[in-house]
Amino acid sequence: MNRDEILDWLLETDPVRLEELWERADAVREAHVGMAVHLRGLIEIGNHCVRKCAYCGIAACAPGMERYRLAFQDIIDCAVRGQAFGFGTVVMQSGEDPGITREFMVDVIRTIKRRTGMAITLSLGERREEDLRAWKEAGADRYLLRFETTDPELYRTIHPSLPGTALSDRLQQLLLMREIGFEIGTGVMVGIPGQTWATLATDIWTFRDFDMDMIGIGPFILSPGTPLDGELGEQLRREAGTGQVPSDELTTLKALALTRLLCPDTNIPSTTALATLDPGAGRANGLKVGANVVMPNLTPPKYRVLYRIYPGKAGLQETADITRDKIEAQIHALGRSIGRGPGGRGRANMVGID
Ligand code: SAH
């Protein structure tokens, strides 16, 4: 499939043709990554952030936010709980926060590895090479960093570089992470103001071009008080005109299914943003059209509510065991199994338990 064909599929509205897309994506998922759905326990380790991303509710410029960082022992306790739940991977995510130091994370990573043996994924934003190398050496396995958009001008607008630093280049960062030895994960939001159909087609093409190991795709959800909630959002939408991609479930599912067709053996989550947009069926719908991963939240509820990158996040008030039970029931209802082991990219992915 070339870029023009991706674009045609994104614009497809015929339900019969779309049914064909869903079926093809599901068949490719089954053939290449099997029936197992891998669970990655998410720990939101802090919401301090130095960036001013125009889409994000915890950006440095977000007014009146109560900020937190989880204590060392809180993080370890969350990871141990994830292991007791049978999760093979723990994902630690935060705002871009120099207050989360290299040394602190080295300690956390070493301790989680020693106590649980779980695979460790980091999603801590753009960090210095020395940090990345130290964390890899301490035992981290994977890094998630969405490139957000392939349109360079839109990227600069919605993801300003830090003052006094080189231009932010997340694709470059991802290549560095791969060279250091991480499995690399990336992704985009669907329907950010200023995103055109042609840009989204290029985004999907780029996942394949860079042979990404993990790809997260969720709908853009407007975060009140962010720049995209105001004049900037209006302006970007006006400029995109009829080319503007909607931030709806159908478009997200098309992007997900096409990504599965182009990247048959990659790990693709059914995202929390999709479950937020459609609390009833979003997560299952993602799993039906190509996704093979879900990321249940392990963050204590008290802190979950403060990690507000967008409003109404699915599972906000739940404890971790409730979230886990709900997700496992959804997976079984689809006739799929729960993944066992670390579930990295490759044949080990096929293994599951009922
Ligand atoms: N600070 C880290 C983690 C950010 S949160 C980083 O920048 O990589 C993880 C992802 O959430 C982001 O990459 C972005 O794609 C997504 N996100 C942020 N704000 C969002 C919003 N309003 N709607 C939907 N997704 C959002």
Tell me which residue of 215, 251, 209, 194 sits closest to 10, measured CA to CA: 251
* Contact 203 CB / ligand 1 (< 6 Å): no
| Whether residue 200 has pLDDT greater than 70 | yes
* Contact 148 CB / ligand 1 (< 6 Å): yes
Model confidence at 27, pLDDT cuts 50, 70, 90, reads very high
* Contact 273 CB / ligand 1 (< 6 Å): yes
Length of the chain: 354
List, for residues 278-333, the tens digit of each pLDDT value: 999 999 999 999 999 999 999 999 999 999 999 988 888 888 999 999 999 999 99
Q: What spacing in Å lies between the alpha carbon of 35 and ligand 1's midpoint?
A: 28
List, for residues 117-151, the tens digit of each pLDDT value: 999 999 999 999 999 999 999 999 999 999 999 99
| Whether residue 350 has pLDDT greater than 60 | no
Please give the full DSSP string across 102-138, using - where no structure is assigned: HHHHHHHHHHHHHHH--EEEEE--S--HHHHHHHHHH
Model confidence at 274, pLDDT cuts 50, 70, 90, reads very high
Domains and CATH numbers, the chain: 3-341 (3.20.20.70)
SS (H, E, C) 200-233: HHHHHHHHHHCCCCEEEEEECCCCCCCHHHCHHH
What is the reported pTM? 0.97
To test the ligand 1 pocket, which listed residue (65, 189, 274) has its Cβ within 8 A of the most ligand atoms?
189
Q: What spacing in Å lies between the alpha carbon of 336 and ligand 1's midpoint?
A: 28
* Contact 95 CB / ligand 1 (< 6 Å): yes
